[in-house]
Amino acid sequence: MKKVLKSLIPLTVIAFTILLICILPKVPKTYGSDESLNVYQKFQEGQPIDYLVIGDSIGRGSGAENPNMTWFRQLENKMKKYNSVPFKGDYLVQSGSTAFEGLYKLSQKNGNDHTDLIFIVFGENDRKYMNVNDFKMTYEALIRKAKHLYPHAELFTLTESCLEYEEFANSIGLLADHYGATNIDMRPIFKKSGFTEEQLTKDLIHPNGLGYKFYANAIYEKFLENAKQDKPVAGLPPKIHEGSDLELLDHDNYDTMVGFRPRAGYYTSSEKGSYIEYRFKGNILGVKLLRSPDGGEVDIFIDGKLNTSINTWWPFARERYLFVTNGLSPGLHTVRFEVSGRETPNDVLSTYVRLSSIITNNIQP
């Protein structure tokens, strides 16, 4: 009996191996199962797609009546319903943010080879904080950083429906064209929709669920067109703007501090005239700070001259990475953050300013 059993063992192993060979090709492919395929090829084969959104409040779907009415959830549902393609997202988004903040957040992120598609959604806030030349350079730096981290990913740039500054909109389209990205300009789509701005938005800025349906439809239709035409994904040609290969760095070693005190991870003061100074050699400058319900205003001086003022009020506490200036001359600079003590437009009784560090592309003093 034992001899019979021993003689059957090799036959059993062979049979089991044949069974595995027959079964394995039928196992569904998982995320990142074939990195030789781009997003359109994965779509054609019904493979799962990973996407990343880098954006502002519209990027995060603010204004939608519920989470399922955001543009990306509606897009996910269309992919699943009509194409049986799982569509999974990751998000670097913040209400009120600019391309500078998106670039900084992306700079803190490790590349993920499984990211197939990247949406970039900025413009409306940028025009409030920087001129069009600063925007062009920062937006291009964001595109280049995205392609360095995710070289096989496709890029979709969204021109927001509320963006009225033509120079900013044109810059997005020009950069998308240069890098072979797909630009979706939502402004003419809203105008031709047959609906009014009041019907498509929550507050004339942020789309509501109906407005985001037009976003999802436009992206979906363009994606299908790209897939049908076997469009190559965005590339990384030579840069247009000098200095657009930015590596943003934190610098928290201050040079002089008067009136500010370390508290809960921030240099904090509410006393008018308190200041903190940093020295650096970069040509672009930002600041990491806390915006909060008791936030006050801070004046920012560069090399002794008032450059701008920032109101750090926000309805809830949130760390932010804000653009200050660009195009500084080569050499050593000094930036001074000084509590203004002025009343803010938000009827805030307190005037706390909480700073963490400066952000620049060269921190050497």
pLDDT single digits (tens) 181-199: 999 999 999 999 999 999 9
Burial class (CB in 10 A: 0-12, 13-18, 19+), 273: exposed
Task: Let me know the angle formed at the C-alpha of 88 by 83 and 94, rounded to the nearest 5 degrees.
Answer: 130
Digit-coded pLDDT (tens) for 96-119: 999 999 999 999 887 666 899 999
Q: What is the mean pLDDT of residues 126-150?
A: 95
pLDDT of residue 8 exceeding 60: no
Nearest CA among 222, 272, 289, 260 for reference residue 40: 222
pLDDT band of residue 86 (cuts 50, 70, 90) is very high
Task: Let me know the angle formed at the C-alpha of 328 by 322 and 331, rounded to the nearest 5 degrees.
Answer: 120
Q: What is the mean pLDDT of residues 153-169?
A: 98
Contacts of 273 (CB under 8 A, 6+ apart): 259, 338, 339, 341
pLDDT band of residue 364 (cuts 50, 70, 90) is low
Query: What percentage of the chain reaches a pLDDT higher than 90?
Result: 79
* 68 CB neighbour count, 10 Å cutoff: 12
Q: Which helix (H) or strand (E) holds 198?
A: helix 197-200
Lowest average pLDDT, out of 33-42, 117-126, 189-198, goes to 33-42
**Amino acid symbol at 345:** P
Pairing assessment for the beta strands 297-302 and 266-269 based on DSSP bridges: unpaired
Provide the pLDDT for residue 273.
97
Provide the pLDDT for residue 349.
64
**Amino acid symbol at 116:** D
pLDDT band of residue 246 (cuts 50, 70, 90) is confident
Provide the pLDDT for residue 23.
44
Which residue did the predictor score with more confidence, 249 or 189? 189
Provide the pLDDT for residue 5.
42
Inter-CA distances, 348 with 172, 275, 311, 342, Å: 37, 20, 11, 10
Provide the pLDDT for residue 347.
61
SS3 203: coil
Provide the pLDDT for residue 35.
66
CB 174 within 8 A of CB 132: no
Which residue did the predictor score with more confidence, 362 or 25? 362
CB 152 within 8 A of CB 188: no
Task: Let me know the angle formed at the C-alpha of 282 by 281 and 287, rounded to the nearest 5 degrees.
Answer: 110
Domains and CATH numbers, the chain: 39-228 (3.40.50.1110), 249-360 (2.60.120.260)
> Rounded distance, CA 337 to CA 328, Å?
17
> Rounded distance, CA 152 to CA 40, Å?
11
Provide the pLDDT for residue 24.
42
pLDDT band of residue 19 (cuts 50, 70, 90) is very low
CB 168 within 8 A of CB 19: no
Digit-coded pLDDT (tens) for 325-346: 998 998 999 999 999 988 776 6
pLDDT of residue 21 exceeding 50: no
pLDDT averaged over every residue in the chain: 90
Q: What is the mean pLDDT of residues 298-304?
A: 98
Provide the pLDDT for residue 113.
65
> Rounded distance, CA 89 to CA 76, Å?
9
pLDDT band of residue 20 (cuts 50, 70, 90) is very low
Lowest average pLDDT, out of 67-81, 160-174, 244-258, goes to 244-258
